[in-house]
Amino acid sequence: MSKREPKYKQKSPDADRYWVRRSFFDNFHQGFIGLSDLAKRKKTFEGLAVILDLQGFTPFCDQRDPQHEVPRFLDRFLKWLFQKIRQELLETEDGDDVVLWSHLPIFGKFLGDGVLLIWDVTDVSLESRRNIVQAFDIICSDYVDVFLEKNIKEFTRPPLMLRCGIAQGQVTSIANGNDYVGMCINVAARLQKLANDAFSFGFTKKGLEEEEGSNWYRHFILIQIEIRGLAKPEFVYVFRTEFNRLPEDEQRKLMPANSG
């Protein structure tokens, strides 16, 4: 029995030519990536964007037999990540119900070297939004202390740090919720790359202001920094320990003008 040719593609006798069925060719459009009708059920809301980035993921992929190592690592990492999100947002369990410190994200997307998660925080309290940020503070720390500690010997040059950027702002759903756009998503992505990668964790002041008397905020310092795409410098909380490693002249550039 002869092997059947794919219905949508036939290779021609020439190595650099392909025959494609007209029906397949004519039907190739933006629906291929799930965005055929961007205006369908469009909704704009106040969102909280969290972007996680596996630092060193590109060198990790550039190794011998990455087709074996990379999927196995990502499978293990993503299972651990979502289990940790559930764990850190869980307050109590009551039979078939659970009580959370904040609701779960409404959207998630794998970005190639990390993950985008979005919360709708339109009616979410400031305390609940802080709970999300604190959860990812713990998750990023546990990536090194727990996940890597357990798995590092099983992989060749795995990513050694999980970086995180968090920002709040207007988010718009597109294509019936198949994807989302918004400046806060772009800002969250760029918060991991601040000051020549000096900071591993950053979140915007907007919508996540410090609570008076909060012990957790003592680990952070508020800086003012220019972010590509924004007209004005943004106020961002970063780890105090990472800020203190910068040269004094760099520290002075980042301190808010009214910091005294």
Q: What are phi and psi of 121, to 5 degrees?
A: -110, 25
Q: Going by DSSP bridges, is the β-strand pair 43-55/161-174 parallel, antiparallel, or unpaired?
A: antiparallel
**Could you give the CA distance from residue 235 to residue 99 in angstroms, rounded to a whole number?**
32
**Could you give the CA distance from residue 66 to residue 43 in angstroms, rounded to a whole number?**
40
Q: Give the per-residue pLDDT at 223.
A: 93
Q: Give the per-residue pLDDT at 66.
A: 77
Q: Give the per-residue pLDDT at 33.
A: 73
Asked if residues 47 and 171 have their Cβ atoms less than 8 Å apart, the reply is: yes
More confident residue, 211 or 167: 167
Residue type, 9: K
**Could you give the CA distance from residue 131 to residue 108 in angstroms, rounded to a whole number?**
18
**Where does the pLDDT of residue 22 fall: very low under 50, low under 70, confident under 90, or very high at 90 and above?**
confident
Determine if residue 4 is left, alpha or beta; phi over 0 gives left, psi from -120 to 50 gives alpha, anything else beta. Answer: beta
Residue type, 260: G
**Could you give the CA distance from residue 37 to residue 44 in angstroms, rounded to a whole number?**
16
Name the β-bridge partners of 15: none
Of 38-42, 229-233, 235-239, 252-256, the range with the lowest mean pLDDT is: 38-42
Asked if residues 187 and 234 have their Cβ atoms less than 8 Å apart, the reply is: yes
Q: What are phi and psi of 62, to 5 degrees?
A: -95, 65
Asked if residues 118 and 171 have their Cβ atoms less than 8 Å apart, the reply is: yes
**Taking 70 as the threshold, does the pLDDT of residue 259 lie above it?**
no
Residue type, 221: I
Q: Which fold has domain 9-32+41-207+218-254?
A: Alpha-Beta Plaits (3.30.70)
Mapped onto helix, strand or coil, the DSSP state of residue 84 is: helix
Q: Give the per-residue pLDDT at 7.
A: 54
Asked if residues 168 and 129 have their Cβ atoms less than 8 Å apart, the reply is: yes
Burial of 103 (0-12, 13-18, 19+ CB in 10 A): middle
Who's near 61: CB < 8 A, 6+ residues apart? 70
- How much is the pTM? 0.85
Encode 225-237 in three state secondary structure: ECCCCCCCCEEEE
> For 51-103, what is each residue's pLDDT tens digit?
999 998 888 888 777 777 889 999 999 999 999 999 999 999 888 888 899 99
**Where does the pLDDT of residue 4 fall: very low under 50, low under 70, confident under 90, or very high at 90 and above?**
low
> For 145-165, what is each residue's pLDDT tens digit?
999 999 999 888 899 999 999
Q: For the chain, what are the domain ranges?
A: 9-32+41-207+218-254
Residue type, 19: W
